[in-house]
Amino acid sequence: MGLVRVALALAVLLGHLPLVEFKFMNAALAVQSFFIVSGFYMGLVLEGKYKDARLFYSNRLLRLAPTYFTMCALYAIALFALNASATSDTGVFANAFHNPVTALIMALENIAILGQELLFWFTIDGHGALVFNGAGALPDAHISVAWQALLVPQSWSLSIELIFYALAPLLARLSWRWLVAIAAASIALRLAGHALPVSYGLWQGRFFPTELFLFIFGMLGQRLSPLAAKLPKATGWIVNLALLAMIVALPLLKLHGEPVGFAIYGLIALAIPFVFNAFKDFTLDRWIGDLSYPLYLTHLLVIGLVLTFMPNAPYAAAVAIGGSLLLSVVVLVVAEHPIDRWRQARAQKGVEREIVVALKPA
């Protein structure tokens, strides 16, 4: 799954990079595809090494938090020391933190992450107050949207992830029939947004209940793993190439509309178990896949620096892409891997403890 995960992260990067004309899969579609991948992996680990929900919760926080706070520090340095940002400026932060209520909310959101997706539903007026705007306002010279006062604005998706993590141990215990029913309810709620007087983009993209089905698609896909394991691993290689081709070449097909998105979600959910089965024992593939999270969090920082200091350079796009990849490698090696080894050790101890308890005589 490593190449697929990095390809999805690159799709988000290219979608946010105005210096290139060629794009991969739409960035929003790529983020929602990540939710499917997340559902698959959470179903997998909850079936295996995480029988203890408390260990699962703490290890998921350890997975997300160190890189997130590392990037918060780097984004703050870029913004306040270099006035370099792809999404905001110091004036937005000064206005937001001038208002005591907004300042408290934004401080909590930058630290706690939970609820960041809801900031897309609010603008910030001239007095720093949050104003509900369900029309999906886009920032410009006259309008600031509340998410612009986030140090790492793309981390709104981490909030969606954290809500799913809270529910994942419960969902993993449900039968496939219940999972299908919950996914159907989530899809129905999502489609109901067409009849509501709010931006459908916000409704379907910045509201957890309408995105829950994506995680469930991944969990349902994980339950196809026994079938995937019976097939030759060459099947997974072929499916992997097809997925990569779809991510890279989808814009060339000029397919649009919501049914296309649902078809892609279904295809990804069906494909993942076969790809995972083929590549699960490849250390290099896992290492490449691990780059996807830091790449997702670092790319707007590098893009902001490039747009500030070399916007017209002929090699600016290459610097933005290469710089994002390079910084991701540094973050992965320095910040993520040491903590990940500790996480894995904690998980292994949890498994061993459960085995000892199970072997004890009644």
Query: What are the pLDDT digits (tens) for 168-206?
Result: 999 999 999 999 999 999 999 999 999 999 999 999 999
Which candidate, 91, 219, 210, 223, places its Cα nearest to that of 160? 210
In a domain, residue 183? The reply is yes
Give the Å distances, CA to CA, from 309 to 82, 83, 86, 302, 338.
10, 10, 12, 11, 33
Judge whether 25 and 247 are in contact, CB under 8 Å: yes
The single-letter code of the amino acid at 313 is A
Q: Report the pLDDT value the prediction gives residue 354, as an integer from 0 to 100.
A: 45
Helices (H), the chain: 2-16, 27-47, 53-82, 90-98, 100-112, 156-172, 176-192, 200-205, 212-222, 225-230, 233-253, 258-279, 283-290, 292-309, 316-331, 337-359
Q: Report the pLDDT value the prediction gives residue 339, as an integer from 0 to 100.
A: 85
In a domain, residue 104? The reply is no
Residue 142: DSSP 8-state: S
- 122 - beta bridge partners? 132
In a domain, residue 106? The reply is no
Judge whether 278 and 237 are in contact, CB under 8 Å: yes
User: Model confidence over 14-62: pLDDT tens digits?
Assistant: 999 999 988 999 999 999 999 999 999 999 988 866 667 788 888 889 8
In a domain, residue 145? The reply is no
Question: Is 357 a residue whose pLDDT tops 70?
Answer: no
Between 50 and 211, name the one with better pLDDT: 211
Q: Where does the pLDDT of residue 362 fall: very low under 50, low under 70, confident under 90, or very high at 90 and above?
A: very low
The single-letter code of the amino acid at 26 is N
Segments forming the whole domain that contains residue 237: 2-87+157-351
User: Model confidence over 262-291: pLDDT tens digits?
Assistant: 999 999 999 999 999 999 989 999 999 999
In a domain, residue 103? The reply is no
What is the token pair recorded at 193?
């947004």
User: Model confidence over 119-148: pLDDT tens digits?
Assistant: 999 999 999 999 999 998 888 878 899 999
Beta strands in 103-156 (DSSP E): 122-124, 130-132, 144-145
Pairing of β 122-124 and β 144-145? antiparallel
Q: Report the pLDDT value the prediction gives residue 104, as an integer from 0 to 100.
A: 97
Judge whether 226 and 44 are in contact, CB under 8 Å: no
First-to-last alpha carbon distance for the chain, in angstroms, is: 42
In a domain, residue 356? The reply is no
Question: Is 351 a residue whose pLDDT tops 60?
Answer: no
User: Model confidence over 238-250: pLDDT tens digits?
Assistant: 999 999 999 999 9
Q: Report the pLDDT value the prediction gives residue 123, as an integer from 0 to 100.
A: 95
Q: At what angle do helices 212-222 and 176-192 cross, to 10 degrees?
A: 150
**Total number of domains in the chain:** 1
In a domain, residue 72? The reply is yes
What is the token pair recorded at 161?
């992830």
| Residue 151 CB neighbours (<10 A) | 24
Q: Where does the pLDDT of residue 358 fall: very low under 50, low under 70, confident under 90, or very high at 90 and above?
A: very low
Q: Report the pLDDT value the prediction gives residue 222, as an integer from 0 to 100.
A: 95
Judge whether 172 and 144 are in contact, CB under 8 Å: no
Q: Where does the pLDDT of residue 341 fall: very low under 50, low under 70, confident under 90, or very high at 90 and above?
A: confident
- 130 - beta bridge partners? 124
Q: pLDDT above 90 covers what percent of the chain?
A: 80
What strands lie across the sheet with 130-132, from one edge to the other? 130-132, 122-124, 144-145
* Unique residue bearing structure tokens 């999502």: 190
What is the arithmetic mean of pLDDT over 287-304? 96
Q: Report the pLDDT value the prediction gives residue 50, as an integer from 0 to 100.
A: 64
What is the token pair recorded at 355?
């085995």
Judge whether 130 and 105 are in contact, CB under 8 Å: yes
Question: Is 338 a residue whose pLDDT tops 50?
Answer: yes
Backbone Cα Rg of the chain: 21
In a domain, residue 9? The reply is yes
Which candidate, 202, 248, 290, 246, places its Cα nearest to that of 1? 290
Q: Report the pLDDT value the prediction gives residue 137, as an integer from 0 to 100.
A: 87
